[in-house]
């Protein structure tokens, strides 16, 4: 059973959340998960050591060594698993649901835990757009000025200035 103080705090939180939600919805026509009303995205990015002007949603998960440059937007519900290291450049847009990995446990799993997990740094260059729900495998390098289409599975390097889509991801052209 909640104490009287706890109940009043919860009531206060709910009332203020409703006010904040209505205000944001009126101004931008959007609503967010509760945590995003109380966590400042730019402050979270700064706390993680990311570059000036970068923001990351409260719903994003960050593990291990992750480096992010200036003015990068990291959308909600993303996973940055930097157990083998992740570098993301300046002026990138990392869309909602993107998962970036720097390790895999395939050999470990199928060996019954006898083999080691594999780690490799994953890199996203400067000025890249990574579409919603993209999965980037360990050790992949995406060059500068790239566009990766929604729902793509990137398991090979993508040269600078390329558009790539699909599962597995394939280059379909150059960025203009």
25 and 55, same domain (yes or no): no
123 and 166, same domain (yes or no): yes
Q: Which domain holds residue 21?
A: 1-31
Q: How many domains does the chain have?
A: 2
| CATH classification at residue 97 | 2.160.10.10
How far, in whole angstroms, is CA 125 from its chain's centroid?
Answer: 15
Report the 10 Å Cβ neighbour count for 140: 20
Query: What tokens were used for 169?
Result: 């991801």
Confidence of residue 148 (pLDDT cuts 50, 70, 90): very high
53 and 18, same domain (yes or no): no
64 and 144, same domain (yes or no): yes
pTM: 0.90
List beta partners, residue 74. 56, 94
92 and 156, same domain (yes or no): yes
Query: What tokens were used for 143?
Result: 């060059």
66 and 127, same domain (yes or no): yes
Q: Write down the residue that tokens 């909602």 correspond to.
A: 96
Residue 110: pLDDT above 80?
yes
Confidence of residue 1 (pLDDT cuts 50, 70, 90): low
145 and 60, same domain (yes or no): yes
59 and 24, same domain (yes or no): no
55 and 97, same domain (yes or no): yes
51 and 13, same domain (yes or no): no
88 and 131, same domain (yes or no): yes
Query: φ and ψ at 160, to 5 degrees?
Result: -55, 145
Average pLDDT for 8-33: 91
Q: Are 59 and 39 in contact (CB under 8 A)?
A: no
Q: Is there a cis peptide before residue 141, judged by omega within 30 degrees of 0?
A: no
Confidence of residue 159 (pLDDT cuts 50, 70, 90): very high
């Amino acid at each position: 059973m909640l104490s009287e103080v706890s109940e009043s705090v919860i009531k206060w939180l709910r009332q203020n959340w409703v006010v904040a939600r209505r205000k944001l919805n009126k101004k931008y026509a959007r609503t967010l998960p509760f945590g995003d009303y109380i966590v400042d995205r730019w402050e979270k990015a700064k706390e993680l050591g990311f570059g000036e002007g970068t923001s990351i949603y409260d719903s994003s998960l960050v593990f291990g060594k992750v480096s992010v440059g200036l003015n990068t937007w990291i959308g909600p519900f993303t996973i940055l698993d930097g157990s083998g290291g992740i570098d993301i450049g300046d002026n990138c847009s990392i869309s909602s649901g993107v998962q970036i990995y720097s390790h895999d446990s395939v050999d470990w799993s199928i060996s019954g835990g006898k083999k080691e997990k594999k780690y490799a740094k994953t890199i996203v260059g400067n000025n890249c757009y990574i579409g919603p729900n993209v999965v980037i495998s360990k050790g992949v390098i995406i060059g500068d000025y790239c566009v990766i289409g929604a729902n793509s599975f990137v398991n090979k390097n993508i040269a600078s200035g390329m558009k790539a889509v699909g599962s597995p991801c394939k280059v379909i052209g150059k960025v203009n």
